[in-house]
Homo-oligomer: A and B are copies of this chain.
Amino acid sequence: MKHVRNVLIVGGVHGNELNGVYLVKTLEQQRSQLTRSHLSATTLLANPEAIRRNRRYVDTDLNRCFDPKDLTTANITLHEQQVAQQIYTQVQDRGVDFVVDLHTTTANMGLTLILSSDHPLNVAIAAYLATISPLVKILLLSPQSAIKRLRGLCPLGFTLEAGAIAQGTLDAHLFFESRRLIRETLDYWNRWNQGEVPPLPSETTVYEQVQTLDFPRDQNGEVIAMVHPDRHGQDYEAIVPGDPLFISFDGQVIPYNSHEVLYPIFIQESAYWEKGIAMYLTRKKQVPLEMA
């Protein structure tokens, strides 16, 4: 049985996602909340310069700068590449066992746990947290995505996406709910380190990434349609073949034309505009829990 003694709680990987920034700042003022009998947690404000500017990033998205081949090269030029190398060194030095990386999204995704990997310990704690709050959803993105992201620095851990929250704003309800999840995460590992396994359900629901969907565009690459109002804010609701998906600026409905019932998420995530992503499509799946 692996012990989880060093938990790292990160905020501000994106400088304008304020809930994570202020969660970390307030935890730093109340360090007693970070210690348990059998573990301790440390915190990190990942990108102070972006936080100061209240912007997502200075030069480039920090959460795409953790590709292992970029973390040890001297040949870097961008602010966030430097920051990523510093964070990588700190994670190594601190001997981090588990990472909680706090983000917000403008999509209506409640408290989504994006797992660093499908390691049974990750699935188990996520399943446990899902029993605590109906806002918790468990998301498995492609393994490639973890390679470039901060959560990929540690095989155990998750990104917490809280939303819908506009960039540059705080949401008190999701702030307190996120803090509860952090507390429960530390309590969980503290029990685990003492040989207990908190009571788990026999199975849990996860959402697996199938693909990303761009907005419809014309031959010049110009966006020609918006997310249909019926889908707006409907993250994690099933989309059935034929359902309205987009609507063009002159009012023509563009239906969902796949053959499979899937579950859109990250619908209207603001930061994905520049990446050409209108939403992700995911598959809903029940997975049995392996008791460790």
Binding site for B on A (CB under 8 A): 18, 22, 25-26, 30, 54, 106, 164, 166-173, 175-176, 223, 226-229, 232, 247, 249-251, 268, 270-271, 273-274
Contacts and interface: CB of A to CB of B under 8 A. Distances in A.
A205 to B, nearest CB: 27
A173 B54 contact: no
B227 A168 contact: no
Contacts of A250: 26, 30
Contacts of A232: 171-173
Copies in the complex: 2
B270 A172 contact: no
Contact of A26 (B170, B173, B249, B271): B249
A162 B264 CA distance: 25
A106 B176 contact: no
A166 B106 contact: yes
Nearest to A231: B172
A172 B226 contact: yes
A187 to B, nearest CB: 19
Contact of A54 (B30, B54, B229, B274): B274
Nearest to A53: B274
A201 B49 CA distance: 53
A268 B247 CA distance: 28
Contacts of A106: 166, 168-169
B26 A169 contact: no
Contacts of A176: 251
A228 to B, nearest CB: 6
Contacts of A170: 223, 226-227, 268
Contact of A171 (B54, B175, B226): B226
Contacts of A164: 166
Given A22-B249, A167-B166, A250-B26, A172 B229 contact: yes
B274 A173 contact: no
Nearest to A246: B172
Contacts of A247: 172
Contacts of A22: 223, 226, 249
B175 A249 contact: yes
Q: Which 8 A-B pairs have the closest CB atoms?
A: A106-B166, A168-B270, A172-B226, A170-B226, A26-B249, A173-B229, A166-B270, A169-B268
